[in-house]
Amino acid sequence: MKMRFVNIAVTALVVFAVCVSALPAWAGLRTETKRERALREKPRPARAGYEEVLRLFLSAHYAEAEQEAARALSSGASQADEIRYFQGLSLSKLGRFAEARSAFGAVERSGAPQELKARAAVGFADAFFFEKNFPAALSAYKSALERYPRSDEAPYFSDQIEKVSGLVHTPDPVIQNVPVEYRVQIGVFSEPRNAKVLAKKVASAGYASFVETEGTRVRVFAGKCARREDAEALAERLKKDGYPTTIRS
């Protein structure tokens, strides 16, 4: 009887020792919550933010660079001004010049270092130049040189001012009746003098403006086109520049 009790006691001790030895492993499995495991198993991108935007831009993947820049900016990534600058460059490479100028303008309005602002001013003016809007480009280069006269970009501004000055021709609009198929109207006045003022303004921005009289009214046009599609494209460009438009034929 005594021997049987000893055997039972020994068996109980062995079982207890096995359970105790397994306890740390069991406890370790219970310390990781579902949320922690999900975070651990979630795939992480190899690159993010500025580094990825720069890599994509230097690889000439401009659409992807612009998309990554937009994503990084929306998520509050660091180096936001640098990211926005390369977003502007990517948009220019894609021919989306108005959006590029918006990005460059945001960099200039930010608290970025002066040299980065000067480079953004280059991108802003170049976007007009690439559009062949030479009057606007010339004005932008001159303004940038005034704002950043001691920057590393100052010689570039000076060179571009000299280069673009030879491309700018601002005709003095005259009151005339011009028979055209499609004309993009931007204003109607009762005073010819006011019409001329607006016509000169849009001419200085690179548009082929002219005015027409119709009874007591003087209409101001920003261009004439042989095809309606071209007139519509011109109207869209004028709307982006802040002018109301009407296509007349």
> At 197, which CATH number?
3.30.70.1070
Number of H helices, E strands in the chain: 11, 4
Based on the fold, state whether residues 187 and 156 are members of the same structural domain: no
Residue 125, C-beta contacts closer than 8 angstroms, at least 6 positions apart: 137, 140, 141, 144, 157, 160
As for how many domains the chain has, the answer is 2
- Please write down the long-range contacts of 48-56, taking CB distance under 8 Å and 24 or more positions apart: 48/72, 48/77, 49/77, 49/78, 49/79, 49/83, 50/77, 50/78, 50/79, 50/82, 50/83, 50/86, 53/83, 53/86, 53/87, 54/86, 56/90
pLDDT of residue 19: 53
**Residue 171: inside a domain:** no
C-alpha–C-alpha distance, residues 14 and 236, integer Å: 87
Specify whether the CB–CB gap between 123 and 85 falls below 8 A. Answer: yes
pLDDT of residue 29: 45
Based on the fold, state whether residues 128 and 195 are members of the same structural domain: no
Based on the fold, state whether residues 157 and 194 are members of the same structural domain: no
Based on the fold, state whether residues 58 and 126 are members of the same structural domain: yes
pLDDT digits (tens, 9 = 90+) for 192-236: 889 889 988 888 877 888 888 888 899 998 888 888 888 888 888
Q: What is the pTM of this model?
A: 0.52
pLDDT digits (tens, 9 = 90+) for 102-131: 999 999 999 999 999 999 999 999 999 999
CATH number where 118 lies: 1.25.40.10
**Conformational region of residue 95, where left means phi above 0, alpha means psi within -120 to 50, and beta covers everything else:** left
Amino acid at 229: E
Evaluate if residue 242 carries a pLDDT over 50.
yes
Evaluate if residue 142 carries a pLDDT over 80.
yes
- At residue 72, the 3 state secondary structure works out as helix
Which residue range forms the structural domain that includes residue 65?
49-165
Average pLDDT over residues 135-154: 92
pLDDT of residue 41: 60
Evaluate if residue 1 carries a pLDDT over 60.
no
3-state helix, strand, coil in the chain (%, to 5): 65, 10, 25
Evaluate if residue 52 carries a pLDDT over 80.
yes
Residue 219, C-beta contacts closer than 8 angstroms, at least 6 positions apart: 185, 187, 188, 189, 195, 211, 212, 213, 248
Percent of the chain clearing pLDDT 70 (strictly above): 76
Average pLDDT over residues 64-68: 93
Evaluate if residue 174 carries a pLDDT over 70.
no
Based on the fold, state whether residues 144 and 191 are members of the same structural domain: no
**Residue 206: inside a domain:** yes
pLDDT digits (tens, 9 = 90+) for 72-86: 999 988 899 999 999
C-alpha–C-alpha distance, residues 49 and 14, integer Å: 58
Average pLDDT over residues 84-109: 93
Q: Which of 14-18, 147-151, 162-166, 220-224 has the lowest mean pLDDT?
A: 14-18
pLDDT confidence bin for 173, thresholds 50/70/90: low
**Residue 40: inside a domain:** no
**Residue 203: inside a domain:** yes
Based on the fold, state whether residues 105 and 208 are members of the same structural domain: no
pLDDT digits (tens, 9 = 90+) for 6-35: 455 545 554 555 454 544 444 444 455 666
Evaluate if residue 153 carries a pLDDT over 80.
yes
Specify whether the CB–CB gap between 81 and 116 falls below 8 A. Answer: yes
Based on the fold, state whether residues 133 and 197 are members of the same structural domain: no
Based on the fold, state whether residues 192 and 244 are members of the same structural domain: yes
pLDDT of residue 32: 59
